Amino acid sequence: MQNAVNNVSLRIACSNCNLRELCLPVSLCGKEMERLDALTSLKRTFQRGEYLYRSGEGFRALYAIRTGFFKTQALHEDGREQVTGFQMPGEIIGLDAISSDAHTCDAIALEDSEICEIPFDRLEALSRELPGLQRHLHKIMSREIVRDHGIMMLLGSMRAEERLAAFLLNLSQRFSARGYSPNAFLLRMTRQEIGSYLGLKLETVSRTFSHFQEHGLLNVKVREVEIMDMLRLRSFVGSI
Amino acid sequence: MQNAVNNVSLRIACSNCNLRELCLPVSLCGKEMERLDALTSLKRTFQRGEYLYRSGEGFRALYAIRTGFFKTQALHEDGREQVTGFQMPGEIIGLDAISSDAHTCDAIALEDSEICEIPFDRLEALSRELPGLQRHLHKIMSREIVRDHGIMMLLGSMRAEERLAAFLLNLSQRFSARGYSPNAFLLRMTRQEIGSYLGLKLETVSRTFSHFQEHGLLNVKVREVEIMDMLRLRSFVGSI
DNA sequence: CATGGTTTTTGACCTATATCAAACGCATTT
DNA sequence: AAATGCGTTTGATATAGGTCAAAAACCATG
């Protein structure tokens, strides 16, 4: 909602960023990492509700999330919007804009967040020199394609309970990879946003949470989720 | 279904391929195109029903479709399968495999087809030398991401009629870009495959075709489609 | 700590699409 | 020409999830 200009420049290098095992620098040696540092000097902070970019804006850079949480949403001309993803620290966002040199969706901070700007032409130039970086960039793009196929599968052939279970397990796994508990976490998004992402109405999301709670799979208290029975939740996904 | 080994090597270079404006060579000069030719010498033919690759197979190459028609499908462990795309000449397939060095879906010829194999490590090496090729490869991957977001939107928030209209308009536009009529074309896939792609059951696809025909939007005769009222069909997509 | 606005939950009812089933059409084989 | 088989169409019925509505919980603000 807001559009404040309280974006600060901070000096934190890839080489001592605690996300380097998840983010772009994967598999780079010290010397190479320094060169990546030189590209990614610009950090910016965003308050909850602020836009990182908007659909239609020119493409200049990819963004690595350092802290916080974002959502991306595509808008239909008729006003309908679809959440296409929720991004957390270490993930790269803006890849969709490469194809047309313009962003094709909005990226909005779901909580106060900090990003790291990666000018794309300089990233391309560096990746021509560093095969390891080049390969990793390709892997990141490919991973996004695989992720999208997973969501297509979810939207195309799963029932509401399976969708929500898959969503929660995915969040759990990503929190876990970042050193947080896989069993208890805070949802940063509304029921409406979860529903948009999963192709469900917010009431259905809410009801499905309640069902899971009734069956002892989860403890849900609005935004706080605790997974009580991970195995049974897993068996939900793809069990019919 | 079959797994014949009637794959022939043919000598057709990118430089004289009539798909060069759609495929990888976009924006390469003569000298550069020759170098790409050197990579893509292996062409193979596939009969209807043959697999180009299968989920789980090791990743070595991308494939450019020269003639024919393919589908890609992802399989769920429980046997459910979801068609993730239909590919036609000039399109590049196999991008999902980069992330894990293994294919994550099956690619199956829907009619007798011919592909052009592009060994990925050599493509990466060449794209380190040719910035134009590098950028184009990135655009191709990004375009795939944007395409997938479109399908997510379709699956997540459109009704059956909108989905089918969007699907037909997309085919129409792609046939048109290849010099074929945008108004009349042959469907290469079954109702079941269309349904899987659109998140609908085959009966719903069939009924929706019938509705469109009743309303004078289409003439459908099994696999032959003629679009009678393109504008009204367009107004269907995203009209509520 | 009262207020107003947003988000979530729950209930009652409705509809788009799924499911089940049968007939039909077209192509291939015998 | 009959038989076989797959894909398609159409009808009758069922249901998962949508819609509408109201209450409850939560959050930010003065």
pLDDT value of residue B2: 41
In this complex, the answer to whether residue A199 has its CB under 7 A from any atom of chain D, a nucleic strand, is yes
Strands (E), chain B: 43-46, 51-53, 61-67, 70-75, 81-87, 92-93, 106-109, 113-119, 184-186, 218-221, 224-227
Give the CA dihedral B20, B24, B30, B36, nearest 10 degrees: -120
Q: Which nucleotide is nearest to B159 (CA to C1')?
A: C16
Could you give phi then psi for residue B100, rounded to 5 degrees? -125, 10
Question: What does the alpha-carbon distance between residue A3 and residue A49 come to, in Å, rounded to a whole number?
Answer: 8
Q: What is the DSSP letter of B72?
A: E
pTM of the model: 0.92
Q: What is the DSSP letter of B144?
A: H
Strand D: which bases are under 7 Å from protein Cβ? 7-12, 16-21, 25-27
pLDDT value of residue B133: 93
CA angle in degrees (0–180, nearest 5) for A195-A197-A202: 5
Could you give phi then psi for residue B94, rounded to 5 degrees? 115, 5
A54 is written with which tokens?
């908007």
Who among B95, B129, B155 is closest to A155 (CB)? B155
In this complex, the answer to whether residue B207 has its CB under 7 A from any atom of chain D, a nucleic strand, is yes
Over chain B (240 residues), the average pLDDT of each successive run of 10 is 44 81 85 87 90 96 95 87 94 96 96 94 95 94 96 95 96 94 95 97 97 94 94 78
Are A197 and A85 in contact by the 8 Å Cβ rule? The answer is yes
**Cβ separation of B128 and A131 shorter than 8 Å?**
yes
Question: What does the alpha-carbon distance between residue B152 and residue B155 come to, in Å, rounded to a whole number?
Answer: 5
Strand C: which bases are under 7 Å from protein Cβ? 7-12, 16-21, 26
Residue of A nearest to B72 (CA): A149
Q: How would you list the strands of the sheet with A43-46, edge to edge?
A: A43-46, A113-119, A61-67, A92-93
Who among A125, A138, A199 is closest to B98 (CB)? A138
- Strand, coil or helix: A38: helix
pLDDT value of residue A78: 77
Optimal mutation site among A157, A198, A234, interface B, most CBs of chain B within 10 A: A157
Who among B82, B157, B196 is closest to A199 (CB)? B157
Residue of B nearest to A196 (CA): B156
Q: How far is the CA of A234 from the C1' of C15 (A)?
A: 31
By CB neighbour count within 10 A (0-12 exposed, 13-18 middle, 19+ buried), where does B168 fall? buried
Report, in angstroms and rounded to the nearest whole number, the Rg of chain B calculated over CA atoms.
19
Instruction: Enumerate long-range contacts of B210-218, CB under 8 Å, 24 or more apart.
Output: B211/B161, B212/B161, B212/B164, B212/B165, B218/B168
Q: What is the DSSP letter of B29?
A: -
Residues in contact with B45: Cβ distance below 8 Å, sequence separation at least 6, in sequence order: B6, B7, B8, B10, B112, B113, B114, B115
Residues in contact with B170: Cβ distance below 8 Å, sequence separation at least 6, in sequence order: none
Query: How far, in Å, are A165, A204, A217, B220 from residue A211 at the CA level?
Result: 11, 10, 9, 44
Residues in contact with B189: Cβ distance below 8 Å, sequence separation at least 6, in sequence order: B69, B71, B83, B86, B110, B197
Minimal Cα–Cα distance from A54 to chain B, Å? 15
Question: What does the alpha-carbon distance between residue B197 and residue A9 come to, in Å, rounded to a whole number?
Answer: 45
Who among A128, A134, A153 is closest to B76 (CB)? A153
Optimal mutation site among A143, A145, A154, A202, interface B, most CBs of chain B within 10 A: A145
| pLDDT tens figures, A205-218 | 999 999 999 999 99
Alpha-carbon dihedral sign for residues A240, B2, B3, B7: negative
Strands (E), chain A: 43-46, 51-53, 61-67, 70-75, 81-87, 92-93, 106-109, 113-119, 184-186, 218-221, 224-227
A78 is written with which tokens?
């008729």
Positions of chain A with pLDDT under 50: 1-10, 240
Report, in angstroms and rounded to the nearest whole number, the Rg of chain A calculated over CA atoms.
19
In this complex, the answer to whether residue A220 has its CB under 7 A from any atom of chain D, a nucleic strand, is no
- Find, among B134, B213, B223, the residue nearest to B171 by Cα: B223
pLDDT value of residue B239: 55
B50 is written with which tokens?
């043959």
**Cβ separation of A157 and B95 shorter than 8 Å?**
no
Optimal mutation site among B26, B62, B76, interface A, most CBs of chain A within 10 A: B76
pLDDT value of residue B229: 93
In this complex, the answer to whether residue B224 has its CB under 7 A from any atom of chain C, a nucleic strand, is no
How do A61-67 and A92-93 pair as beta strands?
A: antiparallel
**Cβ separation of B152 and A157 shorter than 8 Å?**
no
